Structure 1
Amino acid sequence: MAQVLARRGEEEERGLVLREDGRRNADGGALTQALSRRYADRITGSFTMPGREGAYAPLPDDVPEALKSALRARGIDRLYSHQAEAWASAQRGEHVAIVTPTASGKSLCYTLPVVAAAMTGRAKALYLFPTKALAQDQVAELLELNRAGELGVKAFTFDGDTPGDARQAIRLHGDIVVSNPDMLHQAILPHHTKWAQFFENLRYVVIDEIHTYRGVFGSHVTNVLRRLKRVCAFYGVTPQFILCSATIGNPQAHAEALIEHRVHAITESGAPTGDKHVLLWNPPVINKDLGLRASARSQSNRIARIAIKSGLKTLVFAQTRLMVEVLTKYLKDVFDHDPRNPPRIRAYRGGYLPTERRDAERAMRDGRIDGIIATSALELGVDIGSLDVVVLNGYPGTVAATWQRFGRAGRRQKPSLGVLVA
């Protein structure tokens, strides 16, 4: 009986994977239509956010020529409108908050003024990210830009993984130090005299993913920033703050509460986007007498299988590390049963060694992985390349986290699909 049900399930999935013309589903939009037709009884809600064309601006005249050359070498010969607005605001000396969707190019909003200041005025910058993965990702981006134009700007991470013998060199020679609020609290501010050269030239403080700094934790971070400003005043500097977030309802009020300064909020994105489809998926009843429904796990597994077989890059979010491992095993049994082939499925969660995390991120970014199962460790803006489908195995707990996770799909203007299974 179990074999019959399994065979019936495989035939059902095969019918969804192949369209009428025999080709695989090309994008998230086609998969949305296929799932909606077959599983209409399980979909309790659906909507589409239409895509839009991009709004562009030329590279500003006051960007250093070497930096312009580095940008062009990386294929950037114009800016999105919000990036140009952020540059202009930073040049006016304002504190800036950029709140635009995921994958809209927010990192360039602070990279341009920071790198330009480091090149022309020997200015220093401090980046604060909530996770190590984000910090590593940003340093890799800065190093690539540096190599593209031989800019001579030195960027380093300073976190718990930083070896002790490297810390002094970072304090003395780092133009851009990428860290997190905990390290700022424990390892930088209490020893600010060792950082005197850095603080004397500190011009920018960049804080990314500010929506994570809320409640008691947000209050703690605000107090740490108060201490930072007091130390800066001791060294005679008043740094500008550049804040970023992808999902927040009241950006200006939140940013001003965090840094206790007036900010210029940029909320209109100029980045082009594809159609974003969202499905709310209710597991079916499997025993009417007892009122039992299928598990969210089984439904998330099924949706992910269909998406991956359709040739779509898929990310599944689970609420716990254990659930990540369970879903990974289910999908590996389907797609990685032949050890002679490179793995198509990968798990990503806290608890891995730094080298394992970097290797997983690189494999995702290079497109060598078809399916990723992750905890909230991938919720924030780590660059893992282009994704087509995001499946949420359970409600993340907040609306902001839900949109943040859905936002991981849909890069490069392709239609994307987000499914919430709960």
Structure 2
Amino acid sequence: MEFRKSLETLIESLKQENEFREQIVHWHTIPPKQAETVSMPNSIDNRLQQALKKRGILELYTHQAEAFQHAIQNRNFVAVTPTASGKTLCYNLPVLQQVIENESSRALYLFPTKALAQDQKSELNELITEMGVQINSYTYDGDTSPAIRQKVRKAGHIVITNPDMLHSAILPHHTKWVALFENLKYIVIDELHIYRGIFGSHVANVIRRLKRICRFYGSNPQFICTSATIANPRELAETLTGEKMELISHNGAPSSRKHFIFYNPPIVNKPLNIRKSATLEVRKLAAHFLKNKIQTIVFARSRVRVEIILTYLQELIKKEITQKSIRGYRGGYLPKQRREIEQGLRNGDILGVVSTNALELGVDIGQLQVCIMTGYPGTIASAWQQAGRAGRRQGEAVIIMVASSSPLDQYIIKNPDYFLKQNPETAVINPNNLVVLVDHLKCAAFELPFNDTDTFDGLELEDILQFLAEERVLHYNDHKYYWMNDSFPAHNISLRSASQENVVIIDQSDLAKVKVIGEMDRFSAMTLLHDEAIYLHQGVQFQVEKLDWEEKKAFVREVKVDYFTDANLAVQLKVLEEDNKEIFEKIEYGFGDVTVQAMATIFKKIKFDTHENIGSGPIHLPEEELHTNAAWVSLNDSITVDFKEKRLEESLIGVANVIQHVAPLKVMCDPSDLHVIAQIKAIHNQKPTIFLYDRYPGGVGLAKRLFESFDIVIDEALRLLTACPCQEGCPSCIGTDSSSKSIKLDTLTLLEFLKDEMYVTKK
């Protein structure tokens, strides 16, 4: 019990010690919850019941029993319960029961990451072994050896894969998978909430292709989805699968006591309301637990932040524990490294891990007791997912959210009730995004020709197919459209990024052993992999010696410096077409197609610890162009009478800055998915205008959703600005270093004006 006392003592010390106590804004204890169970259904095969009994499962949680009933009655459903509530049985039970009853039945499991797929396979295979029944369950991903691939295709009762493999390796070669497609009974989509934005829009089209192939082989599979808590799980599941869904949302699982602590770093500059870096406070808090051998996970919002915190922690506690006991985990690491880290967390060799949101999914990483978030993760759903990583098996857990000076973080930390009582956000996808849709129609035509009268899961296609035939991408003959290219299209289409190609990162520290250490999408590479950038990987610093933009390669060399780099992006925006416009006496709303030109301009060198600017340099990269959707609000002439042009421009920038941090709350997206810019004279109407645009080609529906709820966004922005304690504006509200003393007041005036006008227009 020494271990348990140790954690309780540390929890108590947070309340007692001045260095922590004074920064704790709110301490919310979530009491333990008892399980709600029902008897095991008699229809479940006795061998399956006995295998569950060996694992101590004698009854089912209410949500598991409800899922089983929907499944055996051939209804598609989505189960929405928190992390570690036994969602896996919601699909494993009906699938295993079906295969026992009919051994020709097949199931396809889709997980958003390879790590999660590997993890679920281990658990499923243990259960199958205990049953003593011949059921073949295999993962099929990039790591599957060619020797095993044929066995998976012919004999796999349960094929576990990810959307990327389904898109590029299974659907294009469906003739090798006849046994799967002819007998496919269940399609399981886990972690549904991940399929939003551009990724979700792509995956919805992959599902359309999958259903088309199933129909060709005569099967009509049932969909089982599971998700973390979001506001619109049924709507998202129905849009993603194109099928009607039942919703299971009452959680019958028990949960341990959790302490949710809202922590605001101390103010270091009162006039500007600038707080001590969240990164430095996280370092102190994580060390507090790690020094006492308490397994801890630290979440950071970006790759750079992960590496900075990792460097700090490895240095700070090297006397107490070895460097290998604290590891980083993020996208860009190679698969072997990631598997090794997951295993180390499970068996206790690794005490601490610093991760991006890559580990917020349901990968089983053992008995973590403390979760520390560096800043608000961007969505309520994401924050609860991260919190769920602590206390999965132990009786008590600590979750600490450490705020940065950003407006959104300050809003959440000062309004804990907003976070604790608010409905989670709405997940938005747009399967009919033309850029995405055309890509997948090419893939679908390669897989099976289209007839004149065919639809794409109900979507009329005639115009697009004719266009592709005119462009000589498809060949039209005898009322059918055929693929007419040598290469097959899926290879060139990435489901995960806006641009189709990633930049490969090549380490040439040792010229005898040049190796690839990671990759990054092009838009991120502009600001993170430019010449002279400091790129961090597993706590090691690399300097970018050359970014070959044409060849999409970044050459890096290991260095030891006491700074990191941060880059600026200059943006220009033009409206191409107005799809929707509402003009009122003093304001006008708009929504439509825009073109955005972005250019990385300069980078700054920022010193570790003090975070002071110690130098800068230019970035020489070509402009990137983006065609997307935007919503905007323009001010008519009457408001400009009250402001001189300079003051109006500063106020517009202030309002845009606050909206940038509030808007992602409404549409469940990463703040970087949605950009907000202000123009004193918009090119299309010559009026002061604030634009909100999707950072993806063709848009994914974020700006459209915000166009429909502009009034709510303005209301939240006003609440954030009013609650900020600064006098003249600071980085925690309007985010400006303007010399004007009236800037905060002007921004408030402008927001109040917008709120009043929107109230009038809504009436």
Q: Same fold by TM-score, threshold 0.5 exceeded?
A: yes
More strand by share: 2
> Given the alignment, which residue of 62, 74, 78 partners 1:97?
78
Identity of aligned residues (%): 47
Give the letter for the 2:111 counterpart: F
Matching residue's letter, 1:321 = R
SS in 1 for 2:393: helix
Q: Is the 8 A contact 1:24 1:311 kept in 2?
A: no
C-alpha distance in structure 1 between counterparts of 2:13 and 2:259, whole Å: 7
* TM-score, structure 2 normalization: 0.50
CA distance in 2, matches of 1:385, 1:22: 16
Considering only CA atoms, is the larger Rg found in Structure 1 or Structure 2? 2
Q: 1:233 to 1:303 in 2, by over 3 A?
A: same
Is 1:350 matched with 2:339? no
1:416–1:242: structure 2 CA closer, same or farther, 3 Å change rule? same
Measure the CA separation in 1 of the matches of 2:323 and 2:51. Answer: 35
Q: Residues 413 and 362 of structure 1: is their aligned pair in 2 closer, same or farther, counting only changes over 3 Å?
A: closer
User: Is 1:380 the counterpart of 2:369 in the alignment?
Assistant: no
Determine which of 240, 243, 247 is the counterpart of 1:261: 243
Match of 2:558 in 1: none
CA change 1:62–1:29 in 2 (3 A) is: farther
Q: Greater shift after overlay, 381-390 or 43-52?
A: 43-52
Residue type of the partner of 1:401?
Answer: S
* Aligned-CA RMSD value: 2.5
Distance 2:9 2:257 in 1: 9
Distance 1:23 1:411, change over 3 A: closer
SS for the counterpart of 1:258 is helix
Higher RCO, 1 vs 2 (CA within 8 Å, ≥6 residues apart): 1
Query: Does the aligned pair in 1 maintain the 2:15–2:21 contact within 8 Å?
Result: no
Counterparts of 1:379 and 1:146, CA distance in 2: 27
Residue 233 of structure 1 aligns with which residue? 215
2:109 aligned with 1:127: yes
Q: Cα offset for 1:398? A: 2.0
For residue 285 of structure 1, report the CA deviation from its aligned partner. 2.0
Please report how far the alpha carbon of residue 127 of structure 1 lies from its aligned counterpart in structure 2 after TM superposition: 0.6
Say yes or no: does 1:62 pair with 2:38: no
Taking structure 1 as the reference length, what is the TM-score of the superposition? 0.88
Partner of 1:12: none
Partner of 1:8: none
Larger helix proportion of the pair: 1
The alpha carbon displacement at 1:84 in A equals: 1.2
| Counterparts of 2:297 and 2:314, CA distance in 1 | 14
Report how far residue 406 of structure 1 moved. Answer: 1.2
1:142 is displaced (CA, Å) by 1.2
* Secondary structure of residue in 1 paired with 2:52: helix
Number of residue pairs matched by the alignment: 401
- Cα distance change of structure 1 residues 31 and 145 upon mapping to structure 2, 3 Å threshold: farther
- Counterpart of 1:52 (choices 33, 37, 55) is 33
Contact 1:81 1:270 in 2 (8 A): yes
Partner of 1:189: 171
Give the alignment of 1:23-422 within 5 angstroms.
Answer: 24-27=5-8, 30-31=11-12, 34=15, 39-122=20-103, 123-288=105-270, 292-337=274-319, 343-412=324-393, 414-422=395-403
Q: Which moved more, 1:92-101 or 1:214-223?
A: 214-223
Show CA shifts across 1:252-275 (max 9, x none).
Answer: 222222212221211111111122
Aligned partner of residue 113 in structure 1, secondary structure: helix
Query: How far 1:335 moved relative to its partner?
Result: 4.0
CA distance in 2, matches of 1:408, 1:23: 18
The Cα of 1:386 is off from its aligned counterpart by 2.0
Quote how far apart the aligned CAs of 1:83 are.
Answer: 0.9
Amino acid at match of 1:248: I
Q: CA deviation at 1:208?
A: 0.6
Secondary structure in 1 matching 2:7:
coil
Deviates more, 1:392-401 or 1:127-136: 392-401
Does the C-alpha gap of structure 1 residues 366 and 143 become closer, same or farther in structure 2, counting only changes over 3 Å? same
Conserved in 1, the CA contact under 8 Å of 2:291 and 2:320? no
Instruction: Report the CA distance shift for 1:291/1:246 in structure 2 as closer, same or farther (over 3 A).
Output: closer
Question: How far is 1:226 from its partner?
Answer: 1.4
C-alpha contact 1:25 1:31 (8 A) present in aligned 2: no
Shifted more, 205-214 versus 276-285: the winner is 276-285
Separation of aligned partners in 1, 2:381 and 2:280: 25
